[in-house]
Amino acid sequence: MTSPSELSKEQLSRQVRQHLDSLKAAGVDWLPAGSIPSAPSSWNQTQDSVNPKPQAIAGSQTNKETSNTRRQGLFEDVGGPDPTTEAKPTCSGIPLEKRKQELKVLTEKVCQCTRCGELASSRTQTVFGVGPVGADLCFIGEAPGADEDAQGEPFVGAAGQLLDKIIAACKMKREEVYICNIIKCRPPGNRTPLPNEAANCREYLERQLELVQPRFICALGSTAAKYLLNTTQGIGQLRGRFHDYRGIPVLCTYHPAYLLPHRSPGKKKDVWEDMKMLLAKMGRPVT
Ligand code: URA
């Protein structure tokens, strides 16, 4: 095989053009600006100031995966209608308003749940989920921690602040994604949810996802991946490719808590690689 140094400029540029054309044909219309993998610097800062410039593949306008996500990106740029509140066509045929109502009913049902005796007696409140019905992307974590148990909202503690930075680096807003957990109650001492707890909560999670109808799911950490996908594979094996949950593409990545300074902050660059893969699949700008 000819090495790049043996090719003429014309041959090299033809090969690059062919490669870009094949990426474009596959629906990839944005490429990263640099080749050295590193996480956005804002993930190490307390104040988020990421505003990277995406690089477009010349002439690319189409998005094979979803026209909705592309439109959403444009709305952000030009200040059009709020994509988080605009009605989208439904796949299941249940109108958006009905799905919102049913999600409220489900939230109330979960509030009353006592299926897991230990969790029901130790929780301050249930933590159902947050975000718009019809969100393009749903993040699924493991279980509420102390902050989430106190506030009733998922990912509001230290891991949540890092998740917010990850979302911002993806040029999305927290308000436009859906965020929930495998189980809806805090396990005492933040222990890992037990299999029977995940099984008890499964019906709620399945219905929640059925009503929210995200187009993509990002499973945060091995516990979320394990219970969502019903797999015994570890997060290291699951990363780097898409999985399937009832027809929805699922990307698995490290849990934000694992990226905190006292654990493995060096893994942030891997999470950023995962997010770029997800963004490309979603048809959103990859920076
Ligand atoms: N960790 C999780 O898995 N979920 C939360 O909501 C908070 C921390």
Atom number, ligand 1, closest to the C-alpha of residue 153: 6
What's the pLDDT tens digit per position in 193-204?
999 999 999 999
pLDDT at 257 over 70: yes
How sure is the predictor about 14, in pLDDT bands with cuts at 50, 70 and 90? low
Give the Å distance between the CA of 260 and the centre of ligand 1: 13
Whether residue 156 sits in one domain with residue 77? no
Whether residue 264 sits in one domain with residue 194? yes
Residue range 98-109: average pLDDT? 98
pLDDT at 11: 58
Whether residue 121 sits in one domain with residue 80? no
pLDDT at 41: 83
Q: Which of 181, 191, 197, 227 to mutate to test the pocket of ligand 1 (most atoms within 8 A of CB)?
A: 181
Q: State the DSSP string of 92-128.
A: SS--HHHHHHHHHHHHHHHHT--SSHHHHHH-SS---
Q: Which of 255, 259, 260 to mutate to test the pocket of ligand 1 (most atoms within 8 A of CB)?
A: 255
pLDDT at 105 over 80: yes
Non-local (6+) Cβ contacts of 66 within 8 A are 136, 215, 282, 283
**What integer best gives the mean pLDDT of the chain?**
80
pLDDT at 46 over 70: no
pLDDT at 176: 98
State the DSSP code for 283.
T
* Domain final residue pick, 58, 86, 114: 86
pLDDT at 54 over 90: no
CA 95 from centre of chain:
24
Asked, for residue 49, whether it belongs to a domain, the answer is: yes
How sure is the predictor about 181, in pLDDT bands with cuts at 50, 70 and 90? very high
Asked, for residue 190, whether it belongs to a domain, the answer is: yes
- Domain membership of residue 43 as a residue range: 4-86
Q: What is the CATH number of the domain that holds 167?
A: 3.40.470.10
Whether residue 72 sits in one domain with residue 117? no
Atom number, ligand 1, closest to the C-alpha of residue 142: 3
What's the pLDDT tens digit per position in 18-40?
444 434 433 344 444 444 568 88
Q: Which of 155, 186, 226 to mutate to test the pocket of ligand 1 (most atoms within 8 A of CB)?
A: 155
Give the Å distance between the CA of 247 and the centre of ligand 1: 25
Q: Which is more confident, 35 or 230?
A: 230
216 touches 249 (CB < 8 A): yes
Give the Å distance between the CA of 143 and the centre of ligand 1: 5
Q: Which is more confident, 18 or 143?
A: 143
Q: pTM for this structure?
A: 0.74
pLDDT at 42: 82
How sure is the predictor about 256, in pLDDT bands with cuts at 50, 70 and 90? very high
Exposure string for 116-149, b = 16+ CB within 10 A, e = fewer: beebeeebebbbbbbbbbbbbbbbbbbbbbebbb
pLDDT at 52 over 60: no
Whether residue 58 sits in one domain with residue 108? no
What's the pLDDT tens digit per position in 144-173?
999 999 999 999 999 999 999 999 999 999
Ligand 1 site residues, Cβ closer than 6 angstroms: 141-145, 148, 154-155, 157, 159-160, 181, 257
Atom number, ligand 1, closest to the C-alpha of residue 220: 3
pLDDT at 93: 85
Smallest Cα–Cα separation from 108: which of 128, 92, 130?
128
Asked, for residue 287, whether it belongs to a domain, the answer is: no
* Domain final residue pick, 22, 57, 86: 86
pLDDT at 39: 85
